[in-house]
Amino acid sequence: MPMALGTDYELQDCTLARALEVVGERWSLLILRDAFYGVQRFNDFLTHLGIPRAVLTARLNALVAAGVLRKEPYQQTPLRHGYLLTDAGLELWGPLYQLSRWGSRHATEAGPYHLFAHAACGTDLDLVGACPTCGGAPVRPAEIVMRPNPARTGSRREDAVSLALVRPHPLLEPIASAAAPA
């Protein structure tokens, strides 16, 4: 609930409220989830999320202003840029992963849509996002590989991003949005 009037929690003595001012608005966390999946371009966010264009514009600008995303040119002519996670944005992986895990336990019957493993050893992450085999702190996003849950059949989405994610995919690696597999 950032920027716009009436959407802040300024009277709360709580850093949770501060965090929600940045990422608490509708769509914001889903946009960031996509950014972790490797989505970078406006149109890929648009088709994968099914979000109204004007709302996507507003959210991306707000997240850039909040220092969670940054704009990075990927071609010069015509000038085009993608949206990438900043260091602060990368640190949102923990809460995002935990919330997703909570959702798979309590807000759906059929379990998770995607599974997340430590790239170095292939072990699925535990509930705080650490590697049970290698131990230690939670695994950083760049060292995580996601794959579809084989027990979850029938992904009904047909957009470029969803199609790219049917194969195992390292987090943060750009989605090949123009690739049309034969």
Partner DNA sequence: GAGGAAGGTTCATTCACCAGACCTGCGATC
Partner DNA sequence: GATCGCAGGTCTGGTGAATGAACCTTCCTC
Residues near its own copies (CB under 8 A) are 1, 7, 9, 11-24, 26, 29-30, 33, 49-50, 66-68, 88, 91-92, 94-96, 98-108, 112-114, 127-130, 137-138, 155-157, 162
Interface characters, 2-41, with DNA (x: CB under 7 A): --xxxx-----------------xxx-------------x
User: What is the distance between the alpha carbons of residues 117 and 143, in angstroms, rounded to a whole number?
Assistant: 9
**Shortest Å distance, C-beta 114 to its own copies:** 7
Q: How far apart are the first and last CA of the chain?
A: 43
d(CA 62, CA 39): 17
3-state DSSP helix/strand/coil percent for the chain, to nearest 5? 35, 15, 50
- Residue 1 token pair: 């609930």
Q: Kindly write out the interface string for residues 108-147 of this chain, putting x where it contacts DNA by CB under 7 A and - elsewhere.
A: ----------------------------------------
